[in-house]
Structure 1
Amino acid sequence: MKTNIVYIVLDDMGYSDLGCYGSEVMTPNIDKLAQNGLRYNNFHVTPLCSPTRASLLTGRNHHSVGMGLLSNFDLGPDVPSTRGKITPSAGTIAEILKENDFSNYAVGKWHLTPMYEETPAGPFHNWPLGKGFDRYYGFLDGMTDQYVPTLVYDNHSVEPAKKADYHLSEDLVDQGINFIADHSSIHPEKPFFLYLAFGAQHSPHQVPKRYIEQYKGVYSKGWDQIREDRLARQKELGIAPLDAELCERNPGVKAWDSLSSDEKRLYERFQETYAGFLTHTDEQIGRFISYLEAIDQLDNTLIVFLSDNGASQEGEFDGIIEQSSYFNGIPTSIESLLPHIDEIGGKNTQPNYPRGWAQVSNTPFKFYKQTTFDGGIHVPLIYHYPNRIKEKGTIKKQFHHVIDITPTVLDLAEVTPPETIKGIKQMPLHGVSMQYTFDHSDADTKRHSQYFLMAGQRAIWHDGWKAISFHTKGTPFEEDIWSLYNTNEDFAQNHDVASTYPEKLHELQKLWLEEAEKYNALPLIDKTIELFAYVSPEDKVRSRNEITYYPGMSHNLAAPPIYNRSYTITIPIDRPADEKNGVLIAHGNQYSGYTLYIQNSRLIYEYNFVGTLYKIESSMKVPVGVSTVQFEFLKTGLLQGKGTLLINGENAGEVEMPNTLPFLISIEGIDVGRDAYIPVSKNYAGKDDFAFSGKIQKVEFILQND
């Protein structure tokens, strides 16, 4: 009988967030997968989304395949470990299965394409259809709004949904079911592979209010007590050993009892939203599983469920209600967040919870996503395969890594990886099959070593010992302090024994370097969010100083890099009548971005610096007929300058801009002649996309090398 394969990947979900891993959050459908399948309590990933996904889909270490950091960052051919794309010599599981008569479908988050290739004109060879998938529906970048997502269908952009009750997670499952329905109706004899990668639980945490209200009052006891409760349940379930200890609170996280009433009220709302978001995600997974059951394909379908990394620290200590503050290093405050407390989770916020709750998600471990401590890399893994798994409901304790999943799946499906794909010789798989664990709970692990490296943070696990270095950005790597843990005796890695076993630490440090060299992980790089402003030498669009867009261009993420430099936007237009108004160019959304539009015959420029608005309304009307409108930004200092509007070369207004965004304008792209997604300006919000009703000849950006 054929074996179908489904990967279900959640994003930024910590080790303890599921009910079957000790949480109070209601996840009955995922719990049922665990009850009828296998759970692993010693499974690891990389600390970041793109690298884990690259390793998951290829069965190789992420540096070896070119995904050392996010796919947004291509550091060029001199740094082959960090190209932001999977090398063709590391074929994906979809490419392997395609050669074995599988149909392959991907739904949801991709995040394996360099940002400069996320354009409506391609190139498409690093999009899902270029990596072995027959159909794709989802979003290419690392995150998107759950209510107004930026979506791609196969190789083209699709318009945002107009449904009032739209939610991305529901849409993704609808599309996944549709793909499987088409497949099962037309090719019932063929097996299928579905990669179902939710945007949940990554920020923005957005979910209908009724899901948030389910958790009202649940978190009033605070993050310290919830962590203790979760660890107690983990011990009862066997997910943590009986002698496991909670790590101390992470640096900067306050004791819950020390918080003010306003802080508690705000922080509870953030966690209620996260919990409701997860319950909603669980419901969508339940719908998909029910569909497989309805078409009699559940028993012969291998389902692999995991999270791509641990819970996120990107909500900072107080939480955030929009994405740009974190990605531009702009602090938030209780005072700025409290007025929006009732909006958290709704359409007017893009929240992420405070770090205190992120540590709860990672119970019992320390630290978060982006770090090589277990809070960043130790996550749930569930296999569900009724036709094969006999020890249903058991917990497996062998150490394994995300590179081991695809070799396991190929082993179970009796598929041998080809030596070449599309004429390109393939590198060997780095992972080992985990099938031996299915029937032998007490078997010794077949993985003996695994290195970790993320943005300068290093670690290695070897035969039960783990060495970790903690790196402070900008300091010499030689000054990093290493710690050592015996994970067989210290599950949560509370007790640093480096001083007791200096020879063991030295042995692991030496092994880390050998593994890093073997898997092409060097050189060490400690840059992170500032790389969003970096323009790769391979970026043929953003490396130009002159970029011209034409009307009719689809929404895309390859926007001009206007950060910390002077530039001019020039737009020749034709307004046949006075009532011809609308957006000329827009980049971003209501949280951060810029827009140039005509309203009531006035030319208006707005720049949103994470809530601080710089605005110019022209002192003269835009003439009827042919004219040229311009916006000029003159840099006068670091990330500051003066903006000027011109109509037919005549000064029409100015504004001082003492702050501009340093790294990332927004999680949305750029539009010509309209504002297609979440509007940048409140002045035209509610007017659909406020498309310009005249004619635009072109939009030309001239960038200066300041």
Structure 2
Amino acid sequence: MTRLTFLLFACGVITTGTTTAQKRPNIIVIMADDLGFADLGCYGSEIPTPNLDALAKNGVRLTNFYNTARCCPSRAALLTGIYPHQAGVGHMMEDKGPEHPAYRGRLNNNNVTIGEVMKNAGYFTAMVGKWHVGQAQGVVPWKRGFDRSLSAPAGGFYYGDHPNAKLFLNGDRLPNDAAVLPQNWYSTDLWSDYSLRFIDEALQEQKPFMVYLAYNAPHFPLQAPLDEIEKFRKKYLEGWEKLREQRYKKQLTLGLLEPSAKLTPFNPNVPDWDKLSPQEKEKFDHIMAIYAAVIAHMDKSIGDLVAGLKKRNVFDNTVLLFVSDNGGNAEPGAEARYDGAIPGSSRSGVFLGQGWAEASCTPFWGYKHQTHEGGISSPCIISWPAGIPVSRNGAFERQPAHITDIMATLVDLGKTQYPSTFGGNSIQPLEGTSMVPAFAGKKINRVNPIFWEHEGNKAVLDGKWKLVAEHTEQWQLYDIENDRSELHDLSSAQPEIAGRLKSAYEKWYQKVNAEPFKRTFKWFYNYTDAKSDL
């Protein structure tokens, strides 16, 4: 291709030979890590996220988008379109052996990834960021359908001098100071930078592109440029209870929540802010300032990505789909973690903790790991100027959707087929449902309920009815349309519905080879006790 031809193509002037590419959109699937439902400005936060807010203002926001409650399972579900247990990642990366097929700690061979499906459909495919679905066992992006990749086997770092920082470029292990990397790189920016580099290759090959961009922000250890952290210092001294109330009020004002979605009672396991010492308040203010800086910087980096798409004249026909892998993270509990000579620097270890996680998950019960709404609810923003009707700009879409729906959505957008066999292996049937009708405000054609199981926490959602129980609890039934906050258990009033959903769950549990889980967490809610006080 001559330079002139490339420039004309990049500007959308040449159509010969690119008709198929122009009919089908480019796609970027963006996943944040440990971002709670209420952590973006357009979902109620005070943290400035103008770039994601702009995508929401000119696109569609889902109010009821769900993940699997945990990191690795959500990545497996996003990549494959089936439940994580079916993909072999029912928990995390431990391999329990062949007698436990749902818990092998890696993607198995009876699924296909979005990379494999979209590559076969003629897309240029790229994966950038956190992989975390079995690299130690040989499951890597460059062998699962991605033409290009700059990936980390797992997360747990932001800077190249951190011991967890490991990078692989198209299958080759890179030194963290390699010449092909920017000096003193910060992972969030590195992922966006390489996304654009790979997009340039797609344009050169005159192919539509599909990029899976998996940030490790805002997962612990929380780290950000120190000058950016300073901008948020002293802004959180009013405490977590008031922050949660402020976010809830903003959610109502935005129209994100229906008035029937009430603010749940504050977790009694979290200390009363007003009873903390001045030194403790300073510490927790600093922790939240670091968290805010990590999120604000991720938004800035997404803004750089969008600017790059616009510069290349491909933004309008690019679907950007943004989600998070689980709810806000309360680990390691109310004490949080505040390690390092300079908290927030590249070698420090800072965890958000339970108090601020309460605000992260506003207005819901629960956090990462759990199947009440706080643990499984994610922001979901979809931008596609050439494909979403202008009348839908800024719209809220209240139909439930699930992370398994992303594969089906990409198959729909790419005008391709999901295979029954691949690479000589039989492929499990797709579980998700395309969200494309919802782009235009039409009904999603969902046939089956949505199911959850993680660490013994479980749920099933069928229409407006949700049956849920954390590990040690009895089943509870909620009308999610009229009680999104799960305050009024209707299991006694609606025993037939509860029984039907329980039966459906038990059949699904057997189908996906889920198994009992023994671990419990002292810092979780006891919902039964908490609700008895309402």
Native 8 Å contact 1:8 1:305 kept in 2: yes
Instruction: Tell me the equivalent position of 1:413.
Output: 414
**Aligned pair partner of 2:299 in 263, 271, 282:** 282
Native 8 Å contact 1:399 1:447 kept in 2: no
Matches within 5 A, 1:618-637: none
Q: Which amino acid aligns with 1:74?
A: D
Instruction: Tell me the equivalent position of 1:180.
Output: 199
Distance 1:502 1:258, change over 3 A: farther
Instruction: Tell me the equivalent position of 1:603.
Output: none
Instruction: Tell me the equivalent position of 1:58.
Output: 80
Matches within 5 A, 1:366-515: 366-390=365-389, 391-440=392-441, 443=443, 446=446, 448-472=448-472, 480-515=473-508
- When normalised by structure 2's length, the TM-score is 0.88
1:343-384 deviation per Cα after TM superposition (whole angstroms, max 9, x unaligned) = 211123121112110111110011110111111101111111
Q: Secondary structure at the match of 2:29?
A: strand
Q: Is 1:85 aligned with 2:106?
A: yes
Cα distance in 1 between the residues matched to 2:38 and 2:289: 16
Cα distance in 1 between the residues matched to 2:366 and 2:159: 27
Alpha-carbon deviation of 1:448?
5.0
Q: Which amino acid aligns with 2:405?
A: D
Instruction: Tell me the equivalent position of 2:9.
Output: none
Deviates more, 1:407-416 or 1:21-30: 407-416
Cα distance in 2 between the residues matched to 1:353 and 1:315: 8
Cα distance in 1 between the residues matched to 2:172 and 2:351: 30
1:110-138 deviation per Cα after TM superposition (whole angstroms, max 9, x unaligned) = 001154x3xxxxxx4x1001110111112
Cα distance in 2 between the residues matched to 1:166 and 1:130: 26
Alpha-carbon deviation of 1:182?
2.7
Instruction: Tell me the equivalent position of 2:530.
Output: none
Native 8 Å contact 2:59 2:383 kept in 1: yes
Instruction: Tell me the equivalent position of 1:314.
Output: 331
**Aligned pair partner of 1:156 in 167, 172, 194:** 172
Matches within 5 A, 1:31-46: 31-46=53-68
Cα distance in 2 between the residues matched to 1:94 and 1:447: 26
Q: Secondary structure at the match of 1:80?
A: coil
Native 8 Å contact 1:14 1:310 kept in 2: yes
Cα distance in 1 between the residues matched to 2:156 and 2:132: 9
Distance 1:174 1:490, change over 3 A: same
Deviates more, 1:268-277 or 1:503-512: 503-512
Matches within 5 A, 1:115-264: 115=136, 117=137, 124=138, 126-148=139-161, 149-161=165-177, 165-184=184-203, 186-187=204-205, 189-264=206-281
Native 8 Å contact 2:437 2:444 kept in 1: no
**Aligned pair partner of 2:123 in 83, 102, 105:** 102
Q: Secondary structure at the match of 1:64?
A: helix
Identity within the alignment, %: 33
**Aligned pair partner of 1:30 in 34, 52, 68:** 52
Q: Which amino acid aligns with 2:174?
A: V
Instruction: Tell me the equivalent position of 1:524.
Output: 516
Instruction: Tell me the equivalent position of 2:5.
Output: none
List gaps (5 residues or longer) in structure 1: 118-123, 323-339, 473-479, 530-706
Cα distance in 2 between the residues matched to 1:265 and 1:500: 47
1:608-630 deviation per Cα after TM superposition (whole angstroms, max 9, x unaligned) = xxxxxxxxxxxxxxxxxxxxxxx
More contact order relative to length (CA 8 Å, sep ≥ 6): 2
Instruction: Tell me the equivalent position of 2:132.
Output: 111
Alpha-carbon deviation of 1:508?
2.1
Cα distance in 2 between the residues matched to 1:375 and 1:225: 18
Cα distance in 2 between the residues matched to 1:440 and 1:507: 30
Instruction: Tell me the equivalent position of 1:355.
Output: 354
1:576-601 deviation per Cα after TM superposition (whole angstroms, max 9, x unaligned) = xxxxxxxxxxxxxxxxxxxxxxxxxx
Native 8 Å contact 1:305 1:381 kept in 2: yes
Q: Which amino acid aligns with 1:93?
A: I
Cα distance in 1 between the residues matched to 2:253 and 2:312: 36
Native 8 Å contact 1:84 1:114 kept in 2: no
Cα distance in 2 between the residues matched to 1:345 and 1:142: 16
Distance 1:358 1:205, change over 3 A: same
- When normalised by structure 1's length, the TM-score is 0.67
Native 8 Å contact 1:318 1:353 kept in 2: no
Cα distance in 1 between the residues matched to 2:224 and 2:110: 40
Q: Secondary structure at the match of 1:88?
A: coil
Alpha-carbon deviation of 1:447?
5.2
**Aligned pair partner of 1:273 in 253, 273, 290:** 290
Distance 1:293 1:306, change over 3 A: same
Cα distance in 1 between the residues matched to 2:361 and 2:87: 28
Q: Which amino acid aligns with 2:99?
A: D
Cα distance in 2 between the residues matched to 1:19 and 1:224: 18
Cα distance in 2 between the residues matched to 1:344 and 1:499: 49
Cα distance in 2 between the residues matched to 1:498 and 1:258: 38
Distance 1:144 1:24, change over 3 A: same
Q: Secondary structure at the match of 2:337?
A: coil
Q: Which amino acid aligns with 2:379?
A: P
List gaps (5 residues or longer) in structure 2: 1-21, 522-534
Q: Which amino acid aligns with 1:160?
A: N
Considering only aligned residues, what root-mean-square deviation do their CA atoms show, in Å?
Answer: 1.9
Q: Secondary structure at the match of 2:323?
A: strand
Cα distance in 2 between the residues matched to 1:371 and 1:251: 17
Native 8 Å contact 1:400 1:447 kept in 2: no
Matches within 5 A, 1:291-330: 291-321=308-338
Alpha-carbon deviation of 1:55?
0.8
Q: Secondary structure at the match of 1:138?
A: strand
Instruction: Tell me the equivalent position of 1:76.
Output: 97
Native 8 Å contact 1:15 1:379 kept in 2: yes
Alpha-carbon deviation of 1:156?
2.5
Cα distance in 1 between the residues matched to 2:242 and 2:445: 34
1:502-551 deviation per Cα after TM superposition (whole angstroms, max 9, x unaligned) = 34323322221012223x1422233589xxxxxxxxxxxxxxxxxxxxxx
Alpha-carbon deviation of 1:445?
6.7
Q: What is the count of residue pairs matched by the alignment? A: 491
Deviates more, 1:196-205 or 1:492-501: 492-501
Cα distance in 2 between the residues matched to 1:278 and 1:447: 36
Q: Which amino acid aligns with 2:275?
A: S
Native 8 Å contact 1:34 1:384 kept in 2: yes
Q: Secondary structure at the match of 2:85?
A: coil
Distance 1:382 1:26, change over 3 A: same
Q: Which amino acid aligns with 1:144?
A: F
Q: Secondary structure at the match of 1:428?
A: coil
Q: Secondary structure at the match of 1:87?
A: coil
Alpha-carbon deviation of 1:271?
0.4
Cα distance in 1 between the residues matched to 2:496 and 2:154: 44
Q: Which amino acid aligns with 1:424?
A: N
Q: Secondary structure at the match of 2:211?
A: strand
Alpha-carbon deviation of 1:201?
0.9
Instruction: Tell me the equivalent position of 2:7.
Output: none
Cα distance in 2 between the residues matched to 1:528 and 1:214: 38
Instruction: Tell me the equivalent position of 2:40.
Output: 18
Instruction: Tell me the equivalent position of 1:599.
Output: none
Cα distance in 2 between the residues matched to 1:424 and 1:509: 33
Cα distance in 1 between the residues matched to 2:268 and 2:460: 23
Q: Which amino acid aligns with 2:397?
A: K
